[in-house]
Amino acid sequence: MEYSKEDLIEAKRQIDSTLHKLKETVKTLEAKENATRYKSQITLAQRRIKAFEIANHFIQNEISKEH
């Protein structure tokens, strides 16, 4: 499937925003008094961060190809 450069740039912008929020969520959960209680939520957020970072990498590669 083909996407326009504008579509890719907007997708990257949205992923960057979500990544920022997820990273803040992890910080908040890890800072809680009983952080082990939130272990599954922290793990899930960290896995999502990794997935979004991978997606961002591929999107950036596609944007770079178009130059």
CA-nearest of 56, 10, 48 to 29 is 48
C-alpha–C-alpha distance, residues 15 and 29, integer Å: 21
Q: Please report how many Cα atoms fall inside a 13 Å half-sphere around the Cα of residue 65, on the Cβ side.
A: 11
C-alpha–C-alpha distance, residues 45 and 3, integer Å: 28
C-alpha–C-alpha distance, residues 63 and 7, integer Å: 10
pLDDT by residue (tens digit) across 19-65?
Answer: 999 999 999 999 999 999 999 999 999 999 999 999 999 999 999 98
pTM for the complete prediction? 0.89
